[in-house]
Structure 1
Amino acid sequence: MLFSTQEYLLLFLPLVLIAFYSCVHVRILRQLVLIGASLLFYGLWNWHFVPFLILLTFVNWFIACQYSKHLQKHWLTFGIILNLLTLGFFKYTNFFAGTVEDILGIQQTHWAIVMPLGISFFVFQKISYLVDLKRGAKSIYNIIDFFEFVTFFPQLISGPIVRHNEIIPQFQTDPVNPQLWENISKGLCLMSIGLIKKAGIADSLGMTCNPLFNQALQGQTLNMAQGWAAAISYSLQIFFDFSGYSDMAIGAALLFGLKLPFNFNAPYQSHNLQEFWRRWHMTLSRFLRDYLYIPLGGNRCGPIRQSSNLIITMLLAGLWHGAGWTFVVWGGLHGLGLSINHIWNRTIPFTLPRPVAWCITLIFLIFSWVLFRAENFSTATEIWQSMLGFNGIGNYKIRHNIVFYTAILLVLFCPSSQNLIYTYLRPSKWIAILGGIAAAFFILLIGGRIPDAFIYFRF
């Protein structure tokens, strides 16, 4: 079930809210409602993986309890390895097998392994919890709290990647408190913004970039205008698609009185790659920083070692996004770009003018997103050649050009969703009326077509 469907917005979410607030004052009952709803939400995609989700969650909770009894860290090490092996089996078995086959020249049919939806996200949550325990955290939770933490449906499939100490302490607070209506109003606003981003902007941009990338995949030559249209439209699409999902996830959580961390903060307004990764998929960035980059040595070492740490971190970040060499190289490009950024700051006593730095950063991002989207290296190369003018300038009429140019203005000049809701938007009946009309329009809009899955569902 997608957030951007009428079934979710008009049936599932309202029914869960009714059940939740019917027993809201009894903590264990409201928690069981959310756990049950979350398992139903997950099962509507594929019931076969519900037992897997339950078992993996229970095993991690059991490991944490065993550690608390015996204070033997080998329990935590075992749990971390188990989670990594689980993720590796479902997501990377065919990738590594295919790589070995290519090296050895062996032809073999890949195994029919179906990857559980959201496994990259909920496995990272469990790993972060076990690592925190290994570092000295004293947080051992009861099984109900732990299950709600892992399975909470707004963030189960594609994040944000929530840490245990950010959300579990909130479970004890009765949602019916002085902040109730503020949370509900902000939640509805964020959900409306996310729905507009997804159904109104991202899906429309996909009608431009998808055909062009498919043409390049089939070996058709694109001209310069087509190449830039493909690259820019995808750069916009992936932002509005994923930030729209995050807005809807955070908004839905607020309806239940729970606050999730924000995931985007106007990333295309960044002036260097370091700033971009502080603004893009922020919960993944901090996970990579705290659980990979810093343990490798971070910036507490010389420039060569720091560059190695950055490149290793981003190579693994690329691999996390997808089991393919295009993702690995995409991560490597960002690692190299971050290394250059740090070396420049350390050794060159000169700061580029902010407009120049912003242009360089944005152009790098647009070119790198091509590799992220392309099915293979030849497709990416074809589009890059087109963007550089090797196939002629040509022309191209962008579909939904009003949406395209509006999207550009929004990402370059407008504040992030959280700043808009928490800083600039003040309570007003006119805002409520207009927001309600806009939400109703887009709910009706998505009713007459097959919804596009969120891009990050594939990861």
Structure 2
Amino acid sequence: MRWYIPYGNPTYFIWLAVALIPLMLGLLYGHRFRWCQTLISLFFLILTFGGPNWHTGIALICYLAYQIVLVGAYSHYRQRKSSANKGWVFVLAVVLAIVPLIVVKVTPAIQSGKQSIIGFLGISYITFKVVQTIMETRDGIIKDYHPVVFAQFLLFFPTISSGPIDRYRRFVSDYQNVPAQKDYLDLVQTGVHYVFLGFLYKFVLAYFFGTVLMPQIQFAALMAHGFSWYIVGYMYVYSMDLFFDFAGYSLFAVGISYLMGIKTPMNFNQPFKSKNIKDFWNRWHMTLSFWFRDYIFMRLVFFMMKHKTFKSRITTANVCYIINMLIMGFWHGETWFYILYGLLHGCALVVNDTWLRYKKKHRDKIPHNKLTELFATFITFNFVCFTFLIFSGFLNTLFFGPSKF
């Protein structure tokens, strides 16, 4: 048996087409064969984590057991009595949930690039699911905990490696119900459309930008020894490759989910048409952006306002913007270019809010038409591409060498 990176090889889709037939036939005639969905998930998890990757499969199994017990214990604590909602218990549960991810992220920085033995593909996205489940359990939004359903939620194979990040209640609602035949046929039609669009994005456009153009521009930039217009060319090519590759993957994940009767949320919505940086984060990697907004930014704002950390709500929001985006930068990796990427976006959100407040106050003095909207889109697009250039690490290689920082 060959081993595959999810959606990385066209042969993977042949396995998908064959495996999904019985599940799709069941859904078409009003039955969700959960045993079949479980077997399909196990098969594709073995394709991903089996063979030479067996050690990551063991790590996944141990991690899954750990998180199921942790969330189950916290859910039992919350259900024990209505007053069981002590803050320190909640904080402890969240910390214990993210400890494995912290170890995986920090290990390469401590051990000169060596990967942690407890790491596996998709650990970040599964951890996000665990943390949001704990937080919503604490808030009383999630009242019932079913270990098997929770495991299905965490290990839903179309999204396990890189998202999109679903929400537990939304997933359970789909998992426990069967769509009407007409609704399911609409889901199939949309899912097939997304899969074919994903092929265009990932195997045509991302290949053109990432495999054909990028090495040539990268080589030319390195040969120029310092700043050159090739760096600007690399900035745009890398941005296009990043978008089409990740958006293509996300379309595959959403499309396959639809075929399985699960309406996984979309991850991208024409992000390069954004008119400002906040609009961009409402369009780019949306499930990650909304996760950080709901479970970090909003909770930081609430905490600081409750404890009156700052007198001004504007100052509170600005500080939380920067902290939120810095955490996102650190999540990508402990290198200066990831951290600077997060810092720049945090500062950009602060500037954006300041401008929007000023614009609202002086709306009569500031023109607003198609031309100004186009200019705003142009500025946003180029700012985003510049931060993607930093994010790529290419400047680090160009000016410091591959072994520095």
**TM-score of the pair, normalised by structure 1:** 0.74
Any idea what the Cα deviations from partners look like across 1:243-291, whole Å, max 9, x if unmatched? Answer: 1111111000111111100111111111110111111111011111111
Equivalent of 1:205 in 202, 206, 209: 209
1:47 aligns with 2:51: no
Identity %: 27
Distance in 1 separating the partners of 2:222 and 2:315: 38
Instruction: Give the CA deviation at 1:91.
Output: 1.5
Aligned-pair CA distance for 1:5: 1.4
| Of 26-35 and 265-274, the range deviating more from structure 2 | 26-35
Alignment of 1:62-211 (within 5 A): 62-71=69-78, 72-73=84-85, 76-95=90-109, 97=110, 111-113=114-116, 115-174=119-178, 177-206=181-210, 207-211=212-216
Q: Which of 318, 321, 330 is the equivalent residue of 1:319?
A: 330
Could you tell me whether the CA contact under 8 Å between 1:4 and 1:195 is conserved in 2? no
Counterpart of 1:332, as a letter, is: L
Question: What residue is the counterpart of 2:308 in the other structure?
Answer: none
Aligned to 1:117, the other structure's residue is in SS state coil
Larger deviation, residues 61-70 vs 367-376: 61-70
Change in CA separation of 1:366 and 1:272 when aligned onto 2, cut-off 3 Å: same
Cα displacement (A) at 1:136: 1.7
1:112 to 1:36, Cα distance in 2 relative to 1, 3 A: closer
The question of whether the paired residues in 2 share the 8 Å contact of 1:37 and 1:153 is answered with no
The 5 A counterparts of 1:51-450 are: 51-71=58-78, 72-73=84-85, 76-95=90-109, 97=110, 111-113=114-116, 115-174=119-178, 177-206=181-210, 207-213=212-218, 216=221, 220-221=225-226, 223-224=228-229, 226-297=230-301, 301-348=312-359, 349=362, 350=366, 353-377=372-396, 379=398
Match of 1:444 in 2: none
Q: 1:57 to 1:177 in 2, by over 3 A?
A: farther
User: Residues of 2 paired with 1:211 and 1:139: CA distance?
Assistant: 55
For the 8 Å contact 1:264–1:280, the answer to whether it is kept is yes
Distance 1:381 1:228, change over 3 A: farther
Q: AA paired with 2:357?
A: R
Aligned partners of 2:75 and 2:137 also within 8 Å: no
Contact 1:154 1:252 (8 Å CA) reproduced: yes
Q: CA RMSD in A?
A: 2.7
> Which residue does the alignment assign to 1:36?
42
Please say if residues 209 and 231 of structure 1, whose CA atoms lie closer than 8 Å, have aligned partners that are also in contact. no
Q: Partner residue of 1:404?
A: none
Distance in 2 of aligned mates of 1:20 and 1:70: 36
Please tell me the residue identity of whatever aligns with 2:65: F
Cα distance per residue 1:114-134 (max 9 Å; x no partner): 541111111111111111111
The structural deviation recorded for 1:31 is 3.7
Distance 2:251 2:399 in 1: 30
For 1:274, the aligned partner's letter is K
In 1, are the aligned partners of 2:23 and 2:32 still within 8 Å (CA)?
no
Using the TM superposition, give the Cα deviation of residue 229 of structure 1 relative to its aligned residue in structure 2, in angstroms.
1.8
Q: Could you tell me how far apart the structure 2 residues matched to 1:265 and 1:212 are?
A: 28
Q: Deviations over 1:81-114 (max 9, x none)?
A: 122211111112332x37xxxxxxxxxx554535
Matched, 1:14 2:28: no
Q: What is residue 454 of structure 1 aligned with on the other side?
A: none
Cα 1:140–1:210 change in 2 (3 A) is farther
Q: In 2, distance between residues paired with 1:223 and 1:360?
A: 21
In 1, the alpha carbon distance for the partners of 2:68 and 2:38 equals 17
Q: Which runs of 5+ in 2 are unaligned?
A: 79-83, 306-311
CA distance in 1, matches of 2:73, 2:265: 30
Alignment-mate amino acid for residue 393 of structure 2: A
Matched residue, 1:424: none
Give the TM-score normalised by structure 2.
0.83
Residues 128 and 38 of structure 1: CA distance in aligned 2, closer, same or farther (over 3 Å): farther
CA distance in structure 1 between the aligned counterparts of 2:161 and 2:219, rounded to whole angstroms = 27
The answer to whether the 8 A contact 1:160-1:260 is kept is yes
Residue type of the alignment partner of 2:63: L
Question: Distance between the aligned counterparts of 1:18 and 1:339, measured in 2?
Answer: 49
